[in-house]
Structure 1
């Protein structure tokens, strides 16, 4: 009886291992999720300013001088457009992620806009 139970448990464990092996994401998929890719957009300064006013000034100040969040009025000197896109999309430290509130094109436009602030 014990042999049947042990054989059954071994079979279940092997089956579970096979299922997990084929359903869990690979390293490439995880790496791609970890670093979002910025879509190609042309800077629309008016739209970017509108998005910044709607989403950013409550923490970063109306002139991007800082407040609850850091100053962004010279952030382009520290971060490039891809890094800014990544931070806005995924969030960082106390900053929330905006991937669910803004479209990737809107985030890319804001990243381009902020990257010019040096």
Structure 2
């Protein structure tokens, strides 16, 4: 009887391992999540400003002066466009990720716009 229980547990563990092998993300997927690649977009300052007003002023203020979130008026002197893209995509600290709220191209446009603010 004990052999049957042990065999059943071994079979269940093997099946679980096989399922995990096919469902867990690979190294490339994890690397992309940790360091998202900023897509190449043509800068559109008007569109970036509109997107910021629709999504960011609640925390960063209507003039990007700060509030709940930090002041972004001189964000370009502290971070590159790629760094800003990563922060907005993944989130950081109290800032939530906008990966599921904005398209990568919209985030890239915002990152380029904010990187010009020095």
Same fold (TM over 0.5): yes
Structure 1: 5+ residue runs without aligned partners?
Answer: none
Deviates more, 1:92-101 or 1:103-112: 92-101
Q: Secondary structure at the match of 2:22?
A: helix
Equivalent in the alignment of 1:88? 88
Distance 1:101 1:19 in 2: 30
Equivalent in the alignment of 1:11? 11
Q: Return the offset for 1:20.
A: 2.0
Distance 2:4 2:101 in 1: 54
Call closer, same or farther: CA 1:23–1:97 in 2, change over 3 Å.
Answer: closer
Number of corresponding residues? 118
Runs of 4+ in 1 over 6 A off after TM superposition: none
C-alpha RMSD over aligned residues: 1.5
Equivalent in the alignment of 2:102? 102
Distance 1:94 1:105 in 2: 23
Deviates more, 1:76-85 or 1:100-109: 100-109
Give TM-score, length-normalised by structure 2: 0.89
How far does the alpha carbon of each residue in 1:95-118 deviate from its partner, in whole angstroms, 9 at most, with x for none?
122122211111110000000111
Q: Return the offset for 1:74.
A: 0.6
Equivalent in the alignment of 1:57? 57
